[in-house]
Amino acid sequence: MTPAVRVQDLDVTLDGTHVLRGVDLAASTGEWVNIIGPNGAGKTTLLRALLGLVAFDGEIAIDGLSDRRRSARARKVAYVPQTPVIPPGMLVADYVLLGRTPHRGVFAAETANDRRIAAGVLSRLDLGGFGERTVQSLSGGERQRAVMARALAQQADVLLLDEPTTALDLGHQQDVLELIDALRRERGLTVIATLHDLTLAARYGDRIAILARGRVAETGPPADVLTVQNIAEHFGASVRIVDDPEGPVIVPTTAASAQNGDQP
Partner 1 sequence: MSDSQPNGGPHVVLEASGLRPRSLAAGLAAAAVAVVAGLTIGPVDIAAHRVALQLLDGLPGLTIDSGLSDAHAAIVEQIRLPRVALGLLVGATLSVSGATYQGAFRNPLADPYLLGIAAGAGLGATIAITSNLGDGAGVFDAVPLAAFAGALISVTVSYVAGHLGGRSTASLILAGIAVASFLTACQTYVLQANSDAFRQIFAWILGRIATSGWSEPALMLPYFVVTVAVVLRYRRALDVLAVGDEEAAALGLEPRRIRLVVVLAASLGAAAAVSVSGLIGFVGIIVPHTVRLAFGSSNRLVLPLSVLFGGAFMVLADLAARTALAPAELPIGVVTAFLGAPFFVLVLRTSRREIW
Ligand X SMILES: Nc1ncnc2c1ncn2[C@@H]1O[C@H](COP(=O)(O)OP(=O)(O)O)[C@@H](O)[C@H]1O
Q: Which of 118, 211, 239, 250 binds partner 1 (CB under 8 A)?
A: 118
Identify residue 106 by its one-letter amino acid code: V
Binding span for Mg ion by CB under 5 A among 36-44, 97-105, 174-182, 223-231:
36-44
Interacting partner of 19 out of Mg ion, partner 1, ligand X, none (Cβ under 5 to 8 A depending on kind): ligand X
Across the chain, the runs of DSSP E, i.e. the strands, are 5-14, 17-27, 32-36, 57-62, 77-80, 158-162, 190-194, 207-212, 215-220, 239-244, 247-252
Interacting partner of 213 out of Mg ion, ligand X, partner 1, none (Cβ under 5 to 8 A depending on kind): none
CB count within 10 Å of CB 135 equals 23
Specify the residue, 17 or 111, whose C-beta has the smaller distance to ligand X. Answer: 17
Interacting partner of 198 out of Mg ion, ligand X, partner 1, none (Cβ under 5 to 8 A depending on kind): none
Which of the residues 18 through 77 are near partner 1 (CB under 8 A)?
48, 51-53, 69-75, 77
Binding span for partner 1 by CB under 8 A among 58-66, 105-113, 206-214, 250-258:
105-113
Specify the residue, 97 or 231, whose C-beta has the smaller distance to partner 1. Answer: 97
Interacting partner of 154 out of Mg ion, partner 1, ligand X, none (Cβ under 5 to 8 A depending on kind): partner 1
Interacting partner of 184 out of Mg ion, partner 1, ligand X, none (Cβ under 5 to 8 A depending on kind): none
Q: How far apart are CA 123 and CA 11, in angstroms?
A: 40
Which residues, at least 6 apart from 168, have a Cβ–Cβ distance to it below 8 Å? 141, 144, 145, 176
| Backbone φ and ψ of 95, nearest 5° | -65, -45
Query: Which residues of this protein are in contact with ligand X, per CB under 6 A?
Result: 14-15, 17, 19, 37, 39-45
44 belongs to the binding site for Mg ion (CB under 5 A) = yes
Buried-state track 161-177, b at ≥16 Cβ within 10 A, e below 16: bbbbbebbeeebbebbb
98 belongs to the binding site for partner 1 (CB under 8 A) = yes
Q: How far apart are CA 96 and CA 139, in angstroms?
A: 16
Q: How far apart are CA 44 and CA 240, in angstroms?
A: 27
